[in-house]
Amino acid sequence: MDVLAGAIATSGPPAFLAPTVALLGAAAVIGYLSVRLRVVPIVGFLLAGVLIGPAQLGLVDRQESVEAAAEVGVILLLFTIGIEFSLQRLTRIRTWILVGGGLQVLLTTLLVHLALLAWGVDWRASLFTGFLVSLSSTAIVLKLLGDAGQSSSQSGQLALAMLIFQDLAVVLMVLAVPMLGRVSGAAGSSGSAASLSLALLKAGLIIALVLLLARRVMPPLLERVARTCSPEVFLLTVVAICFGTAFLTALAGVSVSLGAFLAGLVVSESRHSAHAFGEVMPLQILFSATFFVSVGMLLDLGFVLRNLPLVLGGVLLVVLTKVIATGVAICVLRPGRVAHAAGAPRGSPGGAGSGAATASTGGTAGIAVATALLLAQVGEFSFVLETVGREAGLSPAGLGPEGSQTFIATSVVLMVATPLLAGLGRRAAGRLAFTTPRPSWTRQPPGRDGELPDGTRGDPDSGSAADARPRVLLSGWGPTAARLAADLRGHGIPLVVATLSPDGAAEAERFGHPVVRGDSAKQAVLRHAGLADVDVVVIPEDEPEHASRIAAVARELNPGAQLVVRPVGAAELDALAAAGVDKVVDSARTSSVALSASVLAELDATAEQGVDTTRIVRFNPRRHDGCPHTETIQPVLPSAPGCEECLRTGDRWVHLRVCLGCGFVGCCDSSPQRHARGHGKDTGHPLIASLQDGETWAYCYLDGTTLERSGSDGAQDR
């Protein structure tokens, strides 16, 4: 009680709250402005850090907490990248990692070393500076590649390979930098060499252990956790795997970023990788933004203005050396010739003999330019290495404190400029290279160039539903979904299933359907399932509240898709309509057969007769129409495919109207029985809307007012 009373009586906010609010607020506001201005959000986060940093406004001066959150952001970012990758893909680009990455780091270090030696810098300081410049920003590069959808391009794969090698090289650099300092003597050198060998041995053992866990332990473990169907337990398990693996690799002297990437690879070997990705993504976005803000906080604009020639010289040196070194390394690899044949799985269109070896020198040159400019910045781990060097008596270019500030300014400027450089690289590559097919060995969600979740490609002319682009996404799996899937297959319509249930996923796979495991309310899961390219999204058996959440996410990601829902229990039309649902098959008054008929009608597989009783009718009147009864209008489902009373008695009708209060379908005043008007009189529901094609009006029986719809072409259009 005393603790609680003290907490209530405390004066003022906690010390950490003000800088946290400043950091998140600045990131949100400037990030929003950057998106509105069509600038990459990373640049906005960096600029937010520059603005609130201690050298400018000084809104955030608690660097320790910010740096801790930033390191968490790097770990989560590399973890999600690892999930999207796979051990199989890593094996296929081992030559790019070892040869390409090794050459890139070696040439960059050598070029900077020779340039600074010619400038009169001591050889130790020049070699140390070469180490700093050779590293690129894993976080920024991979974020840009993911946002641009270029992770699976050849330049994206080459960049990733070189970044992996750089993360491995950091281990050697951190151990070698103290040897470059002012420590001398044979015994010291011998001890350092022994420490280096021991660290490499430990790193190798840890990596081998991680790979063993990925193959043998992790898939059954995640399967067991997923069967709990508890998002909280699954998220905690995945995050524990991420940070636990990063901790183990850090104990062996390997960078935590590489450890997090390996943890992602561990999870990627499980069938629940998409589920894990969807759960972790919100955390990754939050902490990654903190990382980019923290980098921007390091910059002192006053120093940049006072030493502008020195900073610009540093920027020019970094860009030139990295472009030359990266370009040479890629030209040695000749990726335009070997990428497809080396990487494609057997039987895939990109494999040997498929024309993969037809690239020219121009193709390689284009890839080299795009990758070189993408990597033409200094990495986040260079800041760690610079700290190690400072403790050993080394500084960038041997300039002491001024060199450290120049290094920070150069690094931040280049990080801000990276989106621009990457865009220039893509445009230059487009002029230099001919169009090469996407390597078919990359694991992409369905809908991108016809790929399915297992990495296979569809042939538009094959006529096989299993090989074609999925046209329907089924959210969830159960008896209703199974019947619908069978009906779709009978009409030759390909589909993909997204479900959180391990048993449901296994059953769908037994029936031969492609499956993505995860919660369909998560954007990442729907993206993995290829939502962007499907025609219809079906939520066949879910609680109305959860169905509304899934529909809202699906509508945001694919505004043109038709959303069809068959909720469990009573349909909540207001919430479903607000979420963007087009059709509701109300389980209380229709059978599951109606769901198949409704979906097939959307795909032009059958001819729909009469009024579609599953399509939500919305009517938004123009504001100036002046009817006082418009507040009674609500989304409704038509009660019958024709006039409800005429269908019972066998009468004929002329035109059809729908009650905007309850959905009753009746015949117009030109019909013999005038059932629409009779229903309005009996129930007191004043407003009806026309269901005739091309008619966009409604009518109020109480005051004789005709209302026009706002922004739609028909009573049943979205």
Residue-wise pLDDT for 118-173, tens only, equals 988 888 889 999 999 999 987 788 778 877 767 767 888 888 889 888 877 876 78
> What's the pTM value of the predicted model, to 2 decimals?
0.55
CB 264 within 8 A of CB 82: yes
Our CA angle for 148, 150, 155, nearest 5°, is 135
* Every domain range in the chain assigned CATH 1.20.1530.20: 69-432
Q: What is the mean pLDDT of the chain?
A: 76
Q: State the pLDDT confidence band at 348, using cuts at 50, 70 and 90.
A: very low
pLDDT of residue 667: 93
pLDDT of residue 679: 94
Q: State the pLDDT confidence band at 711, using cuts at 50, 70 and 90.
A: low
pLDDT of residue 433: 54
What is the DSSP annotation of 2-40? HHHHHHHH--S--TTHHHHHHHHHHHHHHHHHHHHTT--
Give the C-alpha separation, 537 to 598, whole Å. Answer: 12
Instruction: State both tokens at 559.
Output: 């505004």
* Every domain range in the chain assigned CATH 3.40.50.720: 465-602
pLDDT of residue 350: 32
Lowest mean pLDDT among 91-105, 457-471, 572-586: 457-471
Average pLDDT over residues 340-352: 33
CB 620 within 8 A of CB 709: yes
pLDDT of residue 217: 78
The answer on pLDDT for 111 being more than 90 is yes
pLDDT of residue 131: 92
CB 362 within 8 A of CB 432: yes
Fold annotation for 623-708: Herpes Virus-1 (3.30.40)
Letter string b/e over residues 162-198, b meaning 16 or more CB atoms within 10 A of that residue's CB: bbbbbbbbbbbbbbbbbbbbeeeeeeeeeeeeeebee
Q: State the pLDDT confidence band at 16, using cuts at 50, 70 and 90.
A: low
pLDDT of residue 639: 81
Average pLDDT over residues 400-418: 86
Give the C-alpha separation, 505 to 487, whole Å. Answer: 18
Secondary element (H or E) of residue 536: strand 536-539
Give the C-alpha separation, 528 to 556, whole Å. Answer: 15
Instruction: State both tokens at 246.
Output: 């990063």
Domain 69-432 belongs to what architecture?
Up-down Bundle (1.20)
Average pLDDT over residues 439-443: 33
Give the C-alpha separation, 579 to 563, whole Å. Answer: 10
The answer on pLDDT for 444 being more than 50 is no
CA distances from 158 to 230, 244, 330 (A): 38, 28, 8
The answer on pLDDT for 327 being more than 80 is yes
Average pLDDT over residues 73-91: 73
Considering the chain, what percentage of its residues have pLDDT values greater than 70? Answer: 76
CB 540 within 8 A of CB 513: no
Give the C-alpha separation, 97 to 103, whole Å. Answer: 10
Residue owning tokens 């500030």: 405
* Every domain range in the chain assigned CATH 3.30.40.10: 623-708
DSSP letter (8 states) at residue 572 = -
Q: Which CATH superfamily is domain 465-602 in?
A: NAD(P)-binding Rossmann-like Domain (3.40.50.720)
Task: Count the Cβ atoms, other than its own, within 10 Å of residue 531.
Answer: 27
Residue 251 dihedral angles phi and psi, to the nearest 5°: -60, -30
The answer on pLDDT for 529 being more than 90 is no
Average pLDDT over residues 666-684: 92
The answer on pLDDT for 448 being more than 60 is no
Q: State the pLDDT confidence band at 484, using cuts at 50, 70 and 90.
A: confident
The answer on pLDDT for 271 being more than 80 is no
